[in-house]
Amino acid sequence: MSHPTADPASRRVFIDKQSPKAYRALVETADAVRAVADEAGLDRRSVELINLRVSQLNGCAFCLDVHTKAALRAGETTQRLGVLAAWRDTELFTERERAALGLAEATTEPANAVAQESAYETARQVLDDDEISAVIWVAITINAFNRVSVLSKHHVRRASLIPGSSRV
């Protein structure tokens, strides 16, 4: 029995470790979605922007850490990453990226039917059917990983930075 003053995070079940078969199936889904995104022509930077924006909305620190590093490796800029939460208020994102981000947000918050219709209409104007499908699948998948990490309370480990290095 746990002590009542114990850290609540220490009592969390890491569901990825507790149910590895289910987690492996989610990883396999992510692999399939990555292939769908590649086939649709979504570049890695766009996929990582979607992963990051959805993770921001879901408050998933672990996935934000993982996908910030992945976005930087894919060539994303720190400026764009820094303003991603306010993407609508900048001109730093292309029309296609804006459409994808809006659709990813609508996928993450499906109860907002008005925003969903607006995002879908915008996406329809600049993305083809394969791209729309890929964006939605990327958003669905990162939403699932966000929930695994948030509910398991996965920890973000402090990165060891080398002085003068930009490595993350």
Residue 60 φ/ψ, nearest 5 degrees? -100, 95
What pLDDT, on a 0 to 100 scale, did the predictor assign at position 64?
97
- In the chain the domains, ranked by start, together with CATH numbers, are 19-152 (1.20.1290.10)
Rounded CA gap, 76 and 89, in Å? 18
130 token code pair: 């394969």
Residue 4: is its pLDDT beyond 50? Answer: no
Predicted TM-score (pTM) of the model is: 0.88
Rounded CA gap, 149 and 127, in Å? 30
Long-range contacts of 28-37 (CB under 8 A, 24+ apart): 29/141, 29/144, 30/141, 30/145, 33/134, 33/137, 33/138, 33/140, 33/141, 36/133, 36/134, 36/137, 37/134, 37/137, 37/138
Q: What is the pLDDT of residues 14-44, one digit of tens each?
A: 999 999 999 999 999 999 999 999 999 999 9
What pLDDT, on a 0 to 100 scale, did the predictor assign at position 105?
98
- What single-letter DSSP state applies at residue 157? P
What pLDDT, on a 0 to 100 scale, did the predictor assign at position 159?
74
What pLDDT, on a 0 to 100 scale, did the predictor assign at position 131?
98
What pLDDT, on a 0 to 100 scale, did the predictor assign at position 166?
47
What pLDDT, on a 0 to 100 scale, did the predictor assign at position 11?
83
What pLDDT, on a 0 to 100 scale, did the predictor assign at position 8?
58
With b for 16 or more beta-carbon neighbours within 10 A and e for fewer, the 37-52 pattern comes to: beebebebbbbbbbbb
36 token code pair: 């769908």
Residue 163: is its pLDDT beyond 60? Answer: no
Q: What is the pLDDT of residues 42-88, one digit of tens each?
A: 999 999 999 999 999 999 999 999 999 999 999 999 999 999 999 99
Q: What is the pLDDT of residues 114-148, one digit of tens each?
A: 999 999 999 999 999 999 999 999 999 999 999 99
What pLDDT, on a 0 to 100 scale, did the predictor assign at position 161?
57
Mean pLDDT over the full length of the chain: 91
